[in-house]
A and B are shown apart, each in its own frame.
Chain A
Amino acid sequence: MNARRLLAVSRKEFLHVRRDPRSLGLGIAIPVVLLLLFGYVLTLDVDRVPLAIWDRSRTPESRELVSRFEGSRYFQVGLRAEGYPEVEEAIDDGRVLAALVIPEDFGGRVRSDRSSIVQFLLDASEANTATIALGYAETVVSGYSADLEVRWAQAKGLQGVRPPLDVRYRVWFNTDLESRNFIIPGLISVIMMIIAALLTSLTVAREWEQGTMEQLIATPVTAPELILGKLLPYFVIGMVDLAVAVAMGKYLFHVPMRGSLPLLFGIAAVFLVGALSLGMLFSVAARSQLPASQMAMAFTFLPAYLLSGFVFSIDSMPRVVRAVTYLVPSRYFVKVIKGIYLKGVGLGTLAVDTALLLIFGAAMVLAATRMFRKKLR
Chain B
Amino acid sequence: MIAPGEISVSVRDLTRRFGDFVAVNRLRFEVRKGEVFGFLGPNGAGKSTTIRMLCGLLAPTEGEATVAGFDVRTQAETVKKQIGYMSQRFSLYEDLTVEENIDFFGGIYRIPPGRKRGRKEWAIRMAGLSDHLRTRAAHLSGGWKQRLALGCAILHEPPVLFLDEPTSGTDPISRRSFWDLIYSLSGGGTTVFLTTHHMDEAEYCDRLGLVYRGELVAIGSPGELKAGVPREEIVDVRCERPQEAIEVLSLLPGVLGAALFGGGIHAAVERGRMTPAAIAEAIRSAGFPVERAEEIAPTLEDVFVSLVERRDRAAGPMAEVRG
The yes or no verdict on A and B being binding partners is yes
Indicate if A178 sits at the interface (CB-CB under 8 A): no
Please tell me if the beta carbons of B107 and A374 are within 8 angstroms of each other in the complex: no
Which of A26-34, A208-216, A297-305, A324-332 lies on the face that meets chain B? A208-216
A167 located at the interface, meaning its Cβ lies under 8 Å from any Cβ of chain B in the complex: no
B77 touches A374 (CB 8 A): yes
B142 CB to closest chain A CB (Å) equals 15
A11→B104 contact, CB < 8 A: yes
Most buried by B among A19, A212, A220: A220
Identity of the chain A residue whose Cβ is nearest the Cβ of B105 in the assembled complex: A219
Query: Given contacts A15-B95, A220-B77, is CB(A4)–CB(B57) below 8 Å?
Result: no
User: Which one, B83-91, B125-133, B228-236, is touching chain A?
Assistant: B83-91
Residues on the B chain within 8 Å of A210, using CB: 91, 94
Does B92 touch A at the CB level, under 8 Å?
Answer: yes
Task: Give bound CA distance, A198 to B300, whole Å.
Answer: 54
Alpha-carbon separation in the docked complex, A222 to B109 (Å):
11
Complex Cα spacing A374 to B110, Å: 18
Complex CA–CA separation, A217 to B90 (angstroms): 15
Knowing A7-B107, A220-B77, A220-B80 are in contact, say whether A375-B91 is a contact too (CB < 8 A): no
Bound-state Cα–Cα, A214 to B94, Å: 14
Q: Which residues on B sit within 8 Å (CB–CB) of A213?
A: 91
Name the B residues within 8 Å of A375 (CB-CB). Answer: 57-59
Pairwise interchain contact B80-A218, C-beta atoms closer than 8 A: yes
With beta carbons under 8 angstroms apart, the residue of A2, A4, A20, A217 that contacts B95 is: A20
Does B110 lie within 8 Å of A5, measured CB to CB?
Answer: yes
**Interface hits, A318-377 → B, CB 8 Å:** 374-376
A218-B57 contact given A5-B107, A7-B107, A19-B95, CB 8 Å threshold: yes
Shortest C-beta distance, B60 to chain A (Å), equals: 11
Q: Which of B56, B85, B93 has the most CB of A within 10 A?
A: B93
A216 surroundings in chain B (CB, below 8 A): 108
Q: Are A12 and B110 in contact (CB under 8 A)?
A: no
Q: Collect the chain B residues with CB atoms within 8 Å of residue A214's CB.
A: 57, 87, 89, 91
Q: A221-B108, A375-B57 are in contact. Are A12 and B100 (CB under 8 A)?
A: yes
**Cβ–Cβ contact B107 & A215, under 8 A:** no
Q: Does A162 contact B (CB under 8 A)?
A: no
Report the bound CA distance from A7 to B56 in whole Å: 24
* Residue contact B107 to A217, C-beta cutoff 8 Å: no
Neighbouring B residues of A124 by C-beta, 8 Å: none
Q: A12-B100, A15-B100, A375-B57 are in contact. Are A218 and B93 (CB under 8 A)?
A: no
Smallest Cβ-Cβ distance to B53: which chain A residue = A376
CA distance A376 to B108 in the complex (A): 20
Chain A positions within 8 Å of B107 at CB level: 4-5, 7-9, 11
Q: Smallest Cβ distance from A290 to chain B, in angstroms?
A: 20
Instruction: Contact check, A211 vs B108: say whether CB atoms are below 8 A apart.
Output: no
Smallest CB–CB gap between B185 and chain A, Å? 17
Contacts of B90 in A (CB 8 A): 211
Taking a contact as CB atoms under 8 Å apart, the answer to whether B87 and A211 are in contact is: yes
Of A211, A217, A221, A376, the contact of B89 (CB 8 Å cutoff): A211
Given the known interface contacts A8-B104, A11-B104, the answer about A212 and B92 at a Cβ–Cβ threshold of 8 Å is yes
Chain B contacts of A221 at CB under 8 A?
108
B55 at the interface (CB under 8 A from A): yes
Assess whether B197 is interfacial by the CB under 8 Å rule: no
Taking CB atoms, residues of chain B closer than 8 Å to A254 are: none
CA–CA, A5 to B108, complex, Å? 5
Contacts of B56 in A (CB 8 A): 218, 374
For A7, the closest partner residue in chain B by CB is: B107
Q: Are B57 and A220 in contact (CB under 8 A)?
A: no
Question: Are the CB atoms of B85 and A218 closer together than 8 Å?
Answer: yes
Supposing A15-B100, A374-B76 touch, asked if A4 and B110 sit within 8 A by C-beta, the answer is yes
Closest beta carbon of chain A to B316's beta carbon, Å: 34
Nearest B residue to A19 via CB reads B95
- Say yes or no: A212 contacts B58, CB within 8 Å: no
Contact check, B52 vs A376: say whether CB atoms are below 8 A apart: yes
- Is A58 an interface residue when CB atoms closer than 8 A count as contact? no
**Of A19, A212, A220, the contact of B108 (CB 8 Å cutoff):** A220
Which residue, of A2, A7, A12, A374, has the highest number of chain B Cβ atoms within 10 A?
A12
- A16 located at the interface, meaning its Cβ lies under 8 Å from any Cβ of chain B in the complex: yes
Distance of A4 Cα from B77 Cα, bound (Å): 18
> Quick check: B57 and A2 within 8 Å, CB to CB?
no
Instruction: Note all chain B residues with C-beta closer than 8 A to A20.
Output: 95
Say whether B198 faces chain A, with CB atoms less than 8 Å apart.
Answer: no
Q: Is the CB of B92 within 8 A of A8?
A: no
Output the least CB separation between B76 and chain A (Å). Answer: 7
* Distance between Cα atoms of A212 and B90 in the complex (Å): 8
Distance, CA A15 to CA B152, complexed state (A) = 18
Contacts of B91 in A (CB 8 A): 210-215
Does B81 sit within 8 A of A, measured CB to CB? Answer: yes
Kindly provide the distance from the CB of B149 to the nearest chain A CB, expressed in whole angstroms. 8
B residues whose Cβ falls under 8 Å from a Cβ of A? 52, 55-59, 76-77, 80-81, 83, 85, 87, 89-96, 100, 103-110, 149, 152
List of 5 A-B pairs having minimum Cβ-Cβ separation, nearest first = A8-B107, A218-B85, A215-B91, A211-B91, A19-B95
Chain A contact residues, CB within 8 Å of chain B: 2, 4-5, 7-9, 11-12, 15-16, 19-20, 210-222, 374-376
8 contacts between A and B (CB under 8 A): A4-B107, A5-B110, A8-B107, A212-B91, A215-B87, A215-B152, A218-B85, A376-B57
Q: A210-B91, A218-B83, A374-B80 are in contact. List 15 more A-B contacts (CB 8 A).
A: A4-B110, A8-B103, A11-B103, A12-B104, A15-B96, A19-B96, A20-B95, A211-B91, A212-B91, A215-B85, A217-B57, A220-B77, A220-B80, A375-B59, A376-B52
